[in-house]
Chain A
Amino acid sequence: MKKETIVSDKIFAAQGPHSNAVRAGNLVFVAGQGARNEKGEIIGQGDITAQTEQVLKNVGALLEAAGASFDNVCMLKVYLTDMRHREAVGKVRRQFFREPFPASTSVQVASLALPEQMIMMEAIAVL
């Protein structure tokens, strides 16, 4: 099976030995995305809604670069630094996803890559 790194100009380049997304056959794996813009700056400090929007924009850009869309997402994993943000995150998710919604798991973790990061999302899409 051929494995291909997916890149997008809209996404800050991966920092470290990982890809932001990988496609193999009809599967697309999107690495956990934080609220970074294309310059690598964290968007929405202290603002979970703004961070969630940026995260999903990044996921969307990678899906698009892989020839997929949010409709192809079958699994979404959400890592929060505070479970009380879940409702606000849900409101943003509703703007990006439509039925049938992906299977999804949300957990609260002790920390993400940077202290100002409040949310990270990873996705698996099937083309």
Chain B
Amino acid sequence: MNKEAIQTDKVFPPRGNYSHAVRAGNLLFIAGQVARDQEGRTVGLADAAAQAEQALRNIGALLEAAGASFDDVVKLNVYLTDMRYREAVGEVRRRFMREPFPASTSVQVVALADPELLVEIEAVATV
């Protein structure tokens, strides 16, 4: 199966040996996205809703670059540094997703890549 890294100018390049998104056949895997804008700056300090919005914008840009949309997302994993952010993140998610909603799992983790990051969201889509 041909495996292809998906890139877009709208998402800051990966810091490390990974791809933001990989397509293989009709499957699209999107690496955990955080609140970084296209210059690599963290946005929404101490604001989980703003961070979720940026993470979802990044996911949207990667989906678009792969010829997909939020409608194609079948699985979402949400990593929060505090479970109390769940409601605020849920409200943001509702603006990006519509029914049928993806299967989704949310857990609280001890830390994400940087201390200022509060939310990370990864996705699997079928194209």
Complex contacts, B25 vs chain A, CB 8 Å = 26, 126
Size bracket of the A interface = 20 to 34
Complex contacts, B124 vs chain A, CB 8 Å = 75
Select B27's contact among A90, A107, A126, beta carbons within 8 Å: A126
A105 touches B16 (CB 8 A): no
Restricting to A77-127, which residues have a CB under 8 Å from any CB of B? 83, 86, 90, 93-94, 97, 99-110, 124, 126-127
Does A72 interact with chain B (Cβ within 8 Å)?
yes
Complex CA–CA separation, A103 to B7 (angstroms): 11
Does A71 interact with chain B (Cβ within 8 Å)?
yes
Complex CA–CA separation, A104 to B31 (angstroms): 5
Choose, from B42-50, B87-95, B110-118, the stretch at the interface. B110-118
Tally of chain B residues near chain A (CB < 8 A): 29
A-B contact count (CB 8 A): 86
Complex CA–CA separation, A74 to B5 (angstroms): 9
Select A127's contact among B1, B29, B79, B110, beta carbons within 8 Å: B1
Does B24 interact with chain A (Cβ within 8 Å)?
yes
Give the Cβ gap from B56 to chain A, nearest Cβ, in Å: 15
Restricting to B10-54, which residues have a CB under 8 Å from any CB of A? 14, 16-22, 24-25, 27, 29-32
Give the Cβ gap from B80 to chain A, nearest Cβ, in Å: 10
Complex contacts, A72 vs chain B, CB 8 Å = 1, 3, 24
Complex contacts, A76 vs chain B, CB 8 Å = 18
Complex CA–CA separation, A32 to B18 (angstroms): 18
Instruction: Jot down 16 A-B pairs with beta carbons below 8 A, ordered by A.
Output: A26-B1, A74-B3, A75-B31, A83-B113, A101-B17, A102-B18, A102-B19, A103-B19, A103-B21, A103-B31, A104-B18, A105-B32, A108-B109, A108-B112, A109-B110, A126-B3
